[in-house]
Structure 1
């Protein structure tokens, strides 16, 4: 018994190419197959699925509602096929397991990162990733780690820097603190409050807050300089208003009511994270680049979800930027 169209990887490759090109002949050429066969394969795929994946009355073809629901999983399927082929080639060449040390900054969620490492181990068992806490760019440069996930964009000629995520920062305080001293509504109101701020090497001190495209300077009554984890604890204990905390670090406390968002959506400028690796390391380990690309995409997807859930949880009307650069304020 032959395989069905929906079990045929070529059919899904055609689906992906049609999403990109929107035209049978061009998509067929990209796969080096006959256009007539490609058309019949698409028809068979839709017959097996029981619904149309493209509206073929339009030029270029447009995904149907059902087709849109498939695209992410199709990309995952075809990415898995590519990774499996890469693994076959490495096994055929007799390559051994390679152990890579990944340094992560203090603010990273180790549980989430470890879950990604576990997931990638199923994709490429020949690459063993070891997570190491509190290491950064300098450790990449001196060879202590092979790559690092750091909270800034590194500019070094010898180092590849891959921008990964933009982190949503939120201003929070405990209900007890706000009941005692009142809730500030604007950055100017901080003149009556204690601010819990960060002052680490490579991390500019917060001197103002943003809301949409508006910026206002701040002059708190008093400032305590703390790292993020100590600032989180101090805020929960009612010591002041934390201005520099990423949403991912405060999400649990906001959900359980230990902290509440303040300042009506004014927040510290968003922070950029990146993956860094020396070029010579990439040349030495051929499959490390595949991991970096996969890891960066997974982290981007995770942070996008954090942004969206962050806006909703904080009850703020922040704009959310869509992939095409438009502003979506409907969520």
Structure 2
């Protein structure tokens, strides 16, 4: 196998976190990947990867080699695209991942405007929870809420979002407006059983966290259904500010307990290769970033 192919295999292992996942990504057998990495380490007279049942980890030499590999592979890919005339005009398949409930209220209108401007791009929107592995999951760009783990991705900051508690005007008129988290014990709540949503509500209290569990009168399988039920006066709902942006803007829901809100979380677009990314990725980042930054949902 050529040195270029060795670097491709090594980069795939680094990005996917395992030999098996790298083999699937490159459509090779795991044995081929193992032999390639072993041959690479033998040629360099150094250990690049530490293997364990949980996957692989980079050695100090592997960290340095990974950075060099990434730069060489990106520049080679850029040269290929430039020679073929494929870098300047955006086109082809673009896959973007966004958090649940980010799509309809905030993201889709921007996507439709982008497709009007770049009709040769075919765009797929996926929903995700947390920060996906772009290479492993086959994603070009992801909108991520929360602190990013250390990674090789580039990030464009969009603003801040925060967890909130809210209820409909009719509910608050009937049950009163809670003034402290302790008041929630006498209130009704609508919760979601979807992964990533906690049924216990936590509030910062000095250096500790106060946990409150209001009476759960309705459990929905999706957060979208829980927010809808809250607009009908069933109970209070806890959600991220962007998840109920339209309902808050229209007055269907009103925020409560603002003085006890958790710290805001950053939102960002992550992608690979920076300015060397393919035209469809670069144009989407350049198109969407200022529009998302200007959206009131990202103003904390």
Aligning the two structures, in what range does the TM-score lie when normalised by the shorter sequence?
0.5 to 0.7
Number of equivalenced pairs: 215
Partner of 2:256 in structure 1?
262
176 and 244 in structure 1: CA distance in 2 versus 1, 3 angstrom threshold: same
2:281 aligned with 1:298: no
Sort the Cα spacing of 1:265 and 1:235 in 2 relative to 1 into closer, same or farther, 3 A: farther
Corresponding residue of 1:164: 158
Secondary structure of 2:123's counterpart equals: strand
For the aligned residue pairs, the C-alpha RMSD in angstroms reads: 4.1
Larger RCO (alpha carbons 8 Å, 6+ apart): 2
- 3-state SS of paired residue (1:229): helix
Q: Work out the CA distance in 2 between the residues paired with 1:199 and 1:132.
A: 23
Q: How far does the alpha carbon of each residue in 1:128-183 deviate from its partner, in whole angstroms, 9 at most, with x for none?
A: 15132324644623243222223333315343344323114432112333343322
Using a 3 Å threshold, how does the CA distance of structure 1 residues 272 and 122 change in structure 2: closer, same or farther? same
1:298/1:205 CA distance change after superposition, 3 Å? farther
Q: 1:290 to 1:106 in 2, by over 3 A?
A: same
SS of the residue aligned with 1:114? helix
Identify which of 70, 79, 85 aligns with 1:93: 85
Task: Name which of 171, 188, 191 aligns with 2:185.
Answer: 191
Among candidates 92, 116, 139, match of residue 110 of structure 2: 116
- Alpha carbons 2:147, 2:265 under 8 Å: kept: no
- Does residue 289 in structure 1 map to residue 277 in structure 2? no
Inter-CA distance 134–206: structure 2 relative to 1 (3 Å threshold)? same
Q: Using the alignment, how far apart are the partners of 2:298 and 2:280 within structure 1?
A: 31
What is residue 236 of structure 2 aligned with on the other side? 241
Q: Which residue among 154, 170, 192 is the counterpart of 2:148?
A: 154
Counterpart Cα distance in 1 of 2:122 and 2:147: 22
Which of the numbers 266, 274, 280 marks the counterpart of 1:272? 266
- Say if 1:140 and 1:146, in contact at 8 Å, map to a contact too: yes
Verify the 8 A CA contact 2:132 2:142 in the aligned structure 1: no
Deviation at 1:229, TM superposition (A): 1.0
Measured at CA, do residues 134 and 121 of structure 1 come closer, stay the same or move farther in structure 2, by a change above 3 Å? closer
CA contact (8 A) 1:161 1:275 kept: yes
- Unpaired runs of at least 5, structure 1: 1-89, 309-319, 321-331
> Where does structure 2 lack aligned partners over 5 or more consecutive residues?
1-81
Q: Name the structure where strand makes up a greater proportion of residues.
A: 2
Q: What corresponds to 1:181 in structure 2? A: 175
Larger Rg: 1
* Equivalent residue runs for 1:1-331 within 5 Å: 93=85, 97-110=91-104, 112-121=106-115, 128-135=121-128, 137-138=131-132, 140-197=134-191, 201=195, 207-209=201-203, 217-223=210-216, 227-246=222-241, 248-254=242-248, 256-263=250-257, 265-279=259-273, 283=276, 285=278, 288-302=281-295, 305-306=296-297
User: For each residue in 1:30-65, what CA deviation from the matched residue of structure 2 results, as whole angstroms up to 9, or x when unmatched?
Assistant: xxxxxxxxxxxxxxxxxxxxxxxxxxxxxxxxxxxx
Instruction: Write the deviation string for residues 180-203 of structure 1: whole angstroms up to 9, x where unpaired.
Output: 332211222112223445676566
1:242, distance to aligned residue in structure 2 (A): 1.2
